[in-house]
Amino acid sequence: MAQMWITMGPQHPMTHGLWTLRVKVDGETVVDTDAELGYIHRGVEKIAEARDFTQITPYCDRLCYVSAMTWANSYIYAAEDLLEVEVPERAEYIRLIAAECQRLASHLMWLGAYGPDIGSLTLMTWCMRDREMFLDLLQELGGSRMHYNYPRVGGVKRDMPVGFADRLVAKVKLFEHRIDEYEMMLDESTIWLVRLQGVGYAKAEEMVNAGVSGPNIRAAGVNYDVRWAHPYSVYDQVDWEPAVEKPTSVKGADCYDRYRVRMEEMRQSCRMMLDAIEKIPGGKNTNYANGDEMILAKAPTRAPEGATGFSHYECTRGASQFYIQGGGDGRGKNPYRLSIRSPMFITIPFVAKTMIGYKVADIPAIMGSFDPCIGETDR
Amino acid sequence: MGMRITNAQADAAAEHAVESVNARFGGSDVVATVEHHANALKMAFVRIVAPPQHWTAVAKHLKFDLGTNYCSMVTGTHHPEGGAERGWEVVYHLMRQPVANQAPHTNTVHVAEELQGMDVPLEVEVVLTLPQGQTPSVPSVQSLWVGADWNEKETWDLVGIQFEGHENMHRVLNPHDSPEGFHPLQKQHKIRYHDFNEMYDDAQGFGRKPTDEGRVK
């Protein structure tokens, strides 16, 4: 049969954002692919050169609208490396809780979007319902539903409100049961299994070489996680272990493994938050005033030329990295260069090549299982 | 319970890598040092400063002898006022990750504190300094790390660094029909807020215009 190119995107239910996947098909089989990105490139790296270190945080929130807190944190750790700031421990705990809350919200958004890809619209409504719980918690911290501007260089904007701890514990404990519900619905659904199992294989070493990271690597059977391998924050003090799957084939992890690892990761986030809220220094029902030294350390505002800051952070979709060079405009008030490493920018071209050999109908299942987010991809 | 790579492990891994690089490239201008991050945990990493002509050899050493299997980030920087010898800078961030293919129905669960030798995660920063000029160029490492492919595409697209030997170079973030030679992260392109105090100079915002208006597409 004659081969032909089909363009999927930039507006297509499979894309989860604005990008184009060009697929060369032979009948129903994919024989070649090509990814085109850049539709929503905003030039955040350039804008940051004209902003001071506090003003950059809101832009980092908007790198990924599903996972704003982790991106803002990721930037803040690089800024703290650059400005040589040590953060109070209470602030680290609050950041950890906020980041894990965001991880739950982000994974729920992923699951909610992945369900309709596979043909289970119910899943979307369930996930949106549960995601609201965590968005409410994040709203209590940051003041808005999606873009919080919450971390500051040296700590956090404000302390947890009184009663936050109780609401967090209640919601997390409820949600632990909800994860069981999801699993009962999905793992026993023939459609779900048929669409996911044996599709989209990717080997661990290939993925590492291609720069893929995060849950997608752990699905292939190794518990490599930035949170312990390149440690930051207080992850060594709370109770958790990295989620890891046992792939069933020599060909590596399939879509089902990637779905399983994210479910397990949600459980670990719950476990981590429940433990962290009990161990938080200063007490879980105390509310320190804004700028108190328990939650915000003094930080310089200027960085000299030649200073560099780097952070390696386990974002919800993989390892995000920031690299900042000091000594920009305003006698070092702005960064001279800020560089952002987006995990999905590297993953999407890899996934596009992973699809070769599968059917056209498998494309949404494979693409969705890697959890693409175009906001961070295009920056 | 949570775990993490200890500072001692990271120090030992970084020192081993530095010794290895300095033993292999001693006498040339390749200099490796152990550095520490300045934030709370003070983890060690390796910084290698190399002239671009040695970059391919250094990269092969890092990949095949030191096991850095992950090219995570490529950053290009334009230094128009950096002097004759330092007009451009390319920084590669590489990682070593203890990840291997798994047999069916098995997995590897590392315990961070028990990792030793080449299994300890390592962070490497390679700084390549290029002289002033219109066509900054470094050798591509696309063939060593697939992950470098799109990173290098992005660095060429945004900063204008040429990567010798890179196959299939094309625009990735800018529009495909951007004018040749337009690389927005070069410093001659100003955005409208550079040197501009919006609170006092133009509180209403009527005068806001890009300073390079009309000169680039």
Q: In angstroms, what separates the C-alpha of B1 from chain A's closest C-alpha?
A: 4
**Above pLDDT 90, what percent of chain A?**
43
Sheet with A308-315, edge to edge strand ranges: A308-315, A318-325, A337-341
A-B CB pairs within 8 A amount to 199
Q: Looking at the DSSP assignment, which residues form a beta bridge with residue A340?
A: A322
pLDDT of residue A323: 93
Name the residue of chain A whose CA is nearest to B193's CA. Answer: A50
pLDDT of residue B134: 82
On the question of pLDDT at B201 being above 80, the answer is no
- Name every residue whose Cβ is closer than 8 Å to that of residue A179 and which is 6 or more positions away in sequence: A263, A266, A267, A270
Is residue A41 less than 8 Å (CB to CB) from chain B?
yes
Provide the pairing of β-strand A29-36 with A20-26. Answer: antiparallel
Backbone angles phi, psi at A156, to 5 degrees: -130, 160
Within chain A, where are the H helices? 44-48, 56-61, 68-83, 89-118, 121-142, 164-187, 190-196, 204-210, 215-218, 226-229, 255-279, 329-332, 343-354, 363-369, 374-378
The mean per-residue pLDDT over the stretch B191-197 comes to 57
Q: If you average pLDDT over every residue of chain A, what do you get?
A: 89
Q: Is residue B1 part of a domain?
A: no
Three-state DSSP state, A171: helix
The mean per-residue pLDDT over the stretch B75-86 comes to 87
Q: Is residue B214 part of a domain?
A: yes
The mean per-residue pLDDT over the stretch A290-298 comes to 87
CA distance B118 to B121: 8
CA distance A217 to A27: 32
What six digits make up the tokens of A373?
């987010």
Q: Looking at the DSSP assignment, which residues form a beta bridge with residue A152?
A: A155
DSSP-derived secondary structure for A152-163: ETTEESSPPPTT
pLDDT of residue A287: 87
What tens digit of pLDDT does each residue of A222-256 get? Answer: 888 899 989 888 998 898 988 898 888 888 899 99
What tens digit of pLDDT does each residue of A334-363 get? Answer: 899 999 999 999 899 999 989 998 999 889
Interface touch A49/B174, C-beta < 8 Å: no
On the question of pLDDT at A273 being above 60, the answer is yes
Tell me, yes or no, whether B137 and B198 share the same domain: no
The mean per-residue pLDDT over the stretch B3-23 comes to 89
What six digits make up the tokens of A42?
């905003």
Confidence grade of residue B103 (pLDDT, cut at 50, 70, 90): confident
pLDDT of residue B161: 92
Q: Is residue B176 part of a domain?
A: no
Q: Is residue B198 part of a domain?
A: yes
Structural domain boundaries enclosing B83: 7-164
Tell me, yes or no, whether B118 and B216 share the same domain: no
Q: Residue A130 carries which DSSP code?
A: H
| Residues in chain B within 8 Å Cβ distance of A84 | 38-39
Interface touch B70/A208, C-beta < 8 Å: yes
What tens digit of pLDDT does each residue of A184-208 get? Answer: 888 888 889 998 988 989 988 889 9
pLDDT of residue A33: 92
Nearest alpha-carbon partner for A119 in A28, A196, A199: A196
The mean per-residue pLDDT over the stretch B25-35 comes to 86
Interface touch A346/B147, C-beta < 8 Å: yes
pTM of the model: 0.89
pLDDT of residue B215: 61
Nearest CB to B104 within list A80, A213, A249 = A249
pLDDT of residue A77: 93
Confidence grade of residue B213 (pLDDT, cut at 50, 70, 90): low
Tell me, yes or no, whether B150 and B86 share the same domain: yes
Is residue A312 less than 8 Å (CB to CB) from chain B?
yes
Interface touch B101/A203, C-beta < 8 Å: yes
What six digits make up the tokens of B78?
């334009």
CA distance A123 to A129: 10
Q: Looking at the DSSP assignment, which residues form a beta bridge with residue B35?
A: B45
pLDDT of residue A276: 92
pLDDT of residue A322: 93
Q: Is residue B89 part of a domain?
A: yes
Residue holding tokens 């879509």?
A255
Tell me, yes or no, whether B102 and B206 share the same domain: no
pLDDT of residue A93: 93
Name the residue of chain A whose CA is nearest to B108's CA. Answer: A222
pLDDT of residue B111: 85
**Above pLDDT 70, what percent of chain A?**
100
Nearest alpha-carbon partner for A251 in A203, A288, A292, A210: A203
What tens digit of pLDDT does each residue of B123-155 get? Answer: 999 999 998 888 889 999 999 999 899 999 999
Q: In angstroms, what separates the C-alpha of B91 from chain A's closest C-alpha?
A: 9
Nearest alpha-carbon partner for B165 in B186, B185, B139, B183: B139
Q: Looking at the DSSP assignment, which residues form a beta bridge with residue B38?
A: none
DSSP-derived secondary structure for A20-47: EEEEEEETTEEEEEEEE--TT---HHHH
Q: Is residue B171 part of a domain?
A: no
On the question of pLDDT at A212 being above 60, the answer is yes
Tell me, yes or no, whether B120 and B213 share the same domain: no
Three-state DSSP state, B46: strand
Interface touch B93/A341, C-beta < 8 Å: yes
**Above pLDDT 70, what percent of chain B?**
88
Interface touch B102/A41, C-beta < 8 Å: no
Interface touch A319/B72, C-beta < 8 Å: yes
Per the structure, how many domains does chain B have? 2
Question: Higher-confidence residue: A303 or A72?
Answer: A72
pLDDT of residue B195: 55
Write down the CATH superfamily of domain A3-378: Cytochrome-c3 Hydrogenase, chain B (1.10.645.10)
pLDDT of residue B208: 59
Tell me, yes or no, whether B137 and B202 share the same domain: no
Tell me, yes or no, whether B105 and B62 share the same domain: yes
CA distance A349 to B158: 18
Q: Is residue B177 part of a domain?
A: no
In this structure, what CATH number is given to the domain that contains residue B157?
3.30.460.80
Domain ranges of chain A: 3-378
CA distance A131 to A134: 5
pLDDT of residue A175: 93
On the question of pLDDT at B216 being above 70, the answer is no
Name the residue of chain B whose CA is nearest to A322's CA. Answer: B73
What tens digit of pLDDT does each residue of A41-96 get? Answer: 988 998 888 888 988 999 999 988 889 999 999 999 999 999 988 899 999 999 99
Q: Residue A185's CB: how many other CB atoms inside 10 A?
A: 15
Q: Is residue B29 part of a domain?
A: yes
Q: Looking at the DSSP assignment, which residues form a beta bridge with residue B137?
A: B162
Tell me, yes or no, whether B120 and B192 share the same domain: no
